[in-house]
Amino acid sequence: MFTERVRDLAHVGSVELFTPTPDESRAFFVDLMGMSESGRRGESVYLHAWDDYERFTLKLTARDRAGIGRTYVRAASPAALDRRAAEIPGRWVEDELGLGPIYLCQDPDGHDIGLYWETERFVAPKPPALKNQADRFPGRGANVRRLDHVNYLSADTPACGRFLAERLRARPTEQIVLDDGVPSAVWYTVSDKSYDLVYTNDWTGSNGRLHHVALATDTREDILRAADVCLENGIHIETGPHKHAIQQTFFLYVYEPGGNRIELCNAGARLVLAPDWEVISWTAAERAKGQAWGLKTIESFHTHGTPPATR
């Protein structure tokens, strides 16, 4: 029986990354990914992808260790924000550049999530030639268009999935279910994209870690070119370019200089438009086949996360 689900969240807005090498990380995102700097405050520099309508896409904060700070998710309306706040333990803050009141909460694994409605529009330093885009087209490196998704590591993937479904009203689209029947990775969407927020088992049992943040490009060719750009500039390419079997995303995984894993991704014209989409489950055996075109999943994909695990 299908249950109507009011969409209370519009989309993932921005993410904060910690980096022990703030200058090198900034250079990576600006020079190689094609982003621009759109603000500075304290130990943080704010970065903007050219088609993001909001003030910033990534917030880079200097820290002794890499990792993920807050994930900001925009509500679908002021009322929707209030509905979410009423159902989730948390607190109101108003402490972020370009954002109004933020309802700050945590997923069961301890990742900070900030829900908000009020947001400052990005104002282009020089107006773009076409007025229906936020900033000028950079024509530089990977030319990333927008934030795509966040993939967290979690010591308790099923609990985090329930949090997304019940608290954030997100919809599951795909999952890996181990032979014991327990999901080890879950993909959820709050939009028409096939996924926005992902949890993967943290085999170290640590909490609050990041697997990767993904930036979307317009074409697969952008990603092939980005591979050349990373090769030329000494950026570690972990794996790819290749196509995921799960979600079918065309991908490239690299480590930004601070150590965080960054995915460049392209979904083509894929959307999950069916309101009653049934979650697709992959078994451990299917997963073992590797990626869509046969690439074996690289070992570090199961071990590397930020910050580094301490146990």
Residues 70-89 that bind a copy of itself (CB under 8 A): 74, 76-80
128 touching a copy of itself, by CB under 8 A: yes
By rule CB under 8 A, what count of residues binds a copy of itself? 80
- CB burial of 26-61 (b: ≥16 within 10 Å; e: otherwise) equals bebbbebbbbbebeeeeebbbbbbbbbebbbbbbbb
CB of 34 to a copy of itself, least distance (A): 9
131 touching a copy of itself, by CB under 8 A: yes
292 touching a copy of itself, by CB under 8 A: yes
Residues 15-34 touching a copy of itself, rule: CB under 8 A, are 32
Give the chain's largest Cα–Cα span.
56
Residue with Cβ nearer a copy of itself (158 or 241): 241
Those residues with Cβ within 8 angstroms of residue 294's Cβ, 6 or more apart along the chain or in another chain: none
The DSSP result for 88-107, as a single string, is S--EEE--STTB--EEEEE-
CB of 164 to a copy of itself, least distance (A): 18
Residues 265-284 touching a copy of itself, rule: CB under 8 A, are 266-271, 273-275, 277, 280
Whether the CB-CB separation of 27 and 47 falls below 8 Å is answered with: no
- Of the ranges 56-64, 163-171, 197-205, 261-269, which one interacts with a copy of itself (CB under 8 A)? 261-269
**Coil, strand or helix: which one is 73?**
strand
CB of 104 to a copy of itself, least distance (A): 21
225 touching a copy of itself, by CB under 8 A: yes
Q: What is the number of other CB atoms lying within 10 angstroms of the CB of residue 278?
A: 8
Residue with Cβ nearer a copy of itself (89 or 130): 130
302 touching a copy of itself, by CB under 8 A: no
| Three-point CA angle 27, 33, 37, nearest 5° | 55
CB of 277 to a copy of itself, least distance (A): 8
Find the helix or strand (DSSP H, E) in which 269 lies.
none
220 touching a copy of itself, by CB under 8 A: yes
146 touching a copy of itself, by CB under 8 A: yes
**Distance separating alpha carbons of residues 150 and 17, to the nearest angstrom:** 11
Residue with Cβ nearer a copy of itself (155 or 213): 213
Tokens linked to 127: 């107006």
**Coil, strand or helix: which one is 188?**
strand
- Of the ranges 150-158, 198-206, 236-244, 299-307, which one interacts with a copy of itself (CB under 8 A)? 236-244
Binding residue (CB under 8 A) for a copy of itself from 21, 224, 297, 301: 224
Q: What is the number of other CB atoms lying within 10 angstroms of the CB of residue 181?
A: 7
CB of 285 to a copy of itself, least distance (A): 13
